[in-house]
Structure formats: structure tokens, C-alpha cells
């Protein structure tokens, strides 16, 4: 059974790992399963229209599993109103092409929830790399947003408490841009959930099938 890594910036050669590689409109290699989006860090107004067209073209690919990562980030220098415009357009593509949304969010959780309430999307939203407290987690979960946890859960005690309280049906696992093997993230999660790694693999596989329709 696979270890599903739903958001990674690296290519795995392991036959037991199924990865969704994060791609950008400027990426070249789309031969492996991927998601594609305009990251809020890299938004340039003069490129948005062209990049959205590239994303729309790539959404037709059999290898395309999701839109993203895209979202909102109040810490970077890109104008926040422009970020919201670009995020809105990617939500619309997610709905049009029936692809889940992989979300990057920094200090903008209420805005993400507001967009969720406004659009009432039929596609599932996944907030990647979640590393906040249980109150933020509950707010997102209450609004139907899936949480994806990465390598931070291996050493972060407070985040481990969050993982222990989140229903397995509402979580996914990832490596993002780290060198940690996804199996390590599974092993830590299994400990926190008091189940075997094999049982966790089965449950995450079910989540994956429901969310990505693959």
C-alpha cells in the first residue's frame, strides 16, 4: 500500500510513495502526478492572465490532481488585494474543472473561511502544512476544510496535540519542501492516533480517493 504524499516539491523514486508534486505555471516537467497553481509569493500582476491560461490548459492533463498551491499570505510583500483576486480566479477554475484546491495560508485563516462561505464550493479544499493551534484547526474543519500535516509534527509537541484531536477522515499528510521521508510523517501520526502504520495507510488512502477522485 502507498504512502500518499499530497504536497511535495521533490520527486520521489520510491515505489511505495505516491506523491503529488507541486508545480508552477513556469514549470516544465509534468510527467508525474502534480498540482499547479499561482503561489501568493510569486504573483506578478503582468503575468497573471498568461499564467491562469497555462493552469487551465494543464488542468486537462490526466496527471493533474489539484489546483495549488494557491492562497493568501499576509507576511509576504505582494499586495493582499491582488492576492485575493488571484485566489478567487483559482477557486473558479477549481470549480469549473472539478479539481480540489491545495491552499497556502499565512495569517489569513478568516479570509480563507470567508471565501469558503462565499463560494460554497463543491470541490474539497485542503489547507497544506497546517501548524497552528486547535482553535484555528477547529474553525477550518467546521467549514469543511481538510488539514494536511507535514514534518513539523515529528518534533512540535503542540502540533502533535492538534493531530491527536483531528479526525483521521479530515486529514492528509505531506513532506512539502523538506528532506523528511513521508513514511516518518506516517509513523508519527500513527503513534499519535494509537493505530498501526498499515491502518493509517488504509485510512489516508480512503481520504485520498474521496478528495482527489482517483
161-193 per-position pLDDT tens digit = 999 999 999 999 999 999 999 999 999 999 999
31, 63 contact by CB (below 8 A) = yes
pLDDT tens per residue across span 36-88: 999 999 999 999 999 999 999 999 999 999 999 999 999 999 999 999 999 99
- How far apart are the two ends of the chain, measured CA to CA in Å? 15
Per DSSP, helices labelled H in the chain are 48-58, 80-96, 109-119, 134-142, 157-165, 182-193, 197-212
For 122-166, write each residue's pLDDT tens digit. Answer: 999 999 999 999 999 999 999 999 999 999 999 999 999 999 999
pLDDT over 80 (residue 214): no
Q: In angstroms, rounded to a whole number, what is the distance separating the alpha carbons of residues 190 and 105?
A: 26
Q: What is the pTM of this model?
A: 0.96
Nearest-angstrom CA–CA distance, 23 and 81: 24
List the domains of the chain with CATH numbers: 3-212 (3.20.20.140)
Amino acid at each position: 500500500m502507498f504512502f500518499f504524499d499530497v504536497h511535495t516539491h521533490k520527486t520521489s523514486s520510491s515505489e511505495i510513495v505516491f506523491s503529488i508534486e507541486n508545480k508552477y505555471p513556469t514549470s516544465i516537467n509534468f510527467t508525474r502526478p502534480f498540482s499547479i497553481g499561482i503561489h501568493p509569493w510569486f504573483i506578478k500582476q503582468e503575468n497573471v492572465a498568461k499564467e491562469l491560461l497555462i493552469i487551465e490548459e494543464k488542468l486537462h492533463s490526466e496527471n493533474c490532481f489539484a489546483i495549488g498551491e494557491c492562497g493568501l499570505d499576509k507576511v509576504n510583500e505582494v499586495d493582499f488585494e491582488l492576492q485575493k483576486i488571484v485566489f478567487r480566479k483559482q477557486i473558479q477554475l477549481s470549480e469549473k474543472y472539478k479539481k480540489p484546491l491545495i491552499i497556502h495560508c499565512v495569517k489569513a485563516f478568516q479570509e480563507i473561511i470567508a471565501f469558503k462561505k462565499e463560494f460554497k464550493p463543491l470541490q474539497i479544499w485542503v489547507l497544506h502544512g497546517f501548524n497552528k493551534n486547535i482553535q484555528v484547526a477547529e474553525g477550518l474543519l467546521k467549514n469543511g476544510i481538510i488539514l494536511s500535516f507535514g514534518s513539523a509534527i515529528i518534533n512540535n509537541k503542540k502540533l502533535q496535540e492538534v493531530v491527536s484531536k483531528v479526525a483521521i477522515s479530515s486529514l492528509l499528510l505531506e513532506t512539502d519542501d523538506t528532506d523528511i521521508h513521508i513514511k516518518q510523517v506516517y509513523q508519527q501520526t500513527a503513534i499519535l492516533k494509537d493505530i498501526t502504520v498499515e491502518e493509517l495507510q488504509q485510512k489516508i488512502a480512503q481520504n485520498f480517493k474521496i478528495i482527489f477522485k482517483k
